Amino acid sequence: MNMTLTREKESPAIGVENVGSAALTEKVYETSNLNLWYGENHALKNINLDMHQNEVTAIIGPSGCGKSTYIKTLNRMIELVPDVKTTGQIKYRNRNILDQSYKVEDLRTQVGMVFQKPNPFPKSIYENVVYGPKIHGIKNKKILDEIVEKSLKGAAIWDEVKDRLHENAYGLSGGQQQRLCLARCLAIEPDVILMDEPTSALDPISTLKIEELVQELKKDFSIIIVTHNMQQAARISDRTAFFLNGEVIEYSDTNTIFSNPNDKRTEDYITGRFG
């Protein structure tokens, strides 16, 4: 106990080091004093995190640390779980999304999500991509066709599927399905893309493709990615947050986190001593 206290005194406050670079880019998300409970279980404890435009922010940590819970609060997908309670605020572009007057449908047209397991609809590839735009009331066939081509190209799957757009998406391989899901997400032209362990169900080659895509996509989007793969975080992200037991232990540039972590627990985790 004493040791922990001493260590925390020695290390500078989280994020202080990066105030300089943080000021350069615009913030998409500002989380302050976020607490979340599943019933009695205090799953997120006093989270303070800012996320920046056109950057890739990685969230790492061992199983059960709250990283998936946190990313799901960013588009309020967490509300699908019964008996969830939150306090504090998450500002997306300066508006508190936890305010119930903020309509989730509105939020989710700005913030897209790619899930852990590829989850295409049991429809054709074309219908999968136009699902979002159609939901938002776009009916013009020409525009929809253009959206399909642009989105599938954006997810680097166009060449593989352009001749079978009207075949069922379930005929694609796992890696292709995940890129289709990414294309489906791009089709709503979001501002932010949330990715919840998007490569954990994929083989190494498909994983590599997704990682390359993330690098490409950050020019146009802000990306927040949860991963249990530390090498992946090191390879693709600009900033990394390390979660442990529902708390943010450390948040700074990815380089700093992986080469010179402030906190002993971060160091233990990234060097593979636990988790």
Query: Is 132 near other proteins (CB under 8 A)?
Result: yes
Within 32-91, which residues bind other proteins (CB under 8 A)? 75, 77, 80, 82
Query: Is 102 near other proteins (CB under 8 A)?
Result: no
How far, in Å, CA of 3 to CA of 187, rounded? Answer: 51
How far, in Å, CA of 233 to CA of 240, rounded? Answer: 7
Stretch that binds other proteins, among 14-22, 129-137, 140-148, 252-260 (CB under 8 A): 129-137
CB atoms within 10 A of CB 102: 14
Q: Are 182 and 114 in contact (CB under 8 A)?
A: yes
Q: How many CA atoms lie within 13 A of 3 on its CB side?
A: 3
Stretch that binds other proteins, among 51-59, 127-135, 237-245, 250-258 (CB under 8 A): 127-135
60 exposed, middle or buried (CB, 10 Å; 0-12, 13-18, 19+)?
A: buried
132 backbone dihedrals φ, ψ, rounded to 5°: -60, -55
Stretch that binds other proteins, among 16-24, 88-96, 117-125, 143-151 (CB under 8 A): 117-125
Query: Is 150 near other proteins (CB under 8 A)?
Result: no
* Closer CB to other proteins, 128 or 237, in the complex: 128
Pick from 67, 184, 239, 265 the residue near other proteins by CB under 8 A: 184
How far, in Å, CA of 82 to CA of 147, rounded? Answer: 35
Minimum CB–partner distance for residue 66 and other proteins (Å): 19
Minimum CB–partner distance for residue 142 and other proteins (Å): 21
Task: State the angle between helix axes of 125-135 and 141-154 in degrees (0 to 180), rounded to the nearest 10.
Answer: 120
Query: Is 202 near other proteins (CB under 8 A)?
Result: no
- Which residues here bind other proteins, judged by CB under 8 A? 75, 77, 80, 82, 104-109, 112-113, 115, 117, 119-122, 131-132, 135-136, 181, 184-185, 188
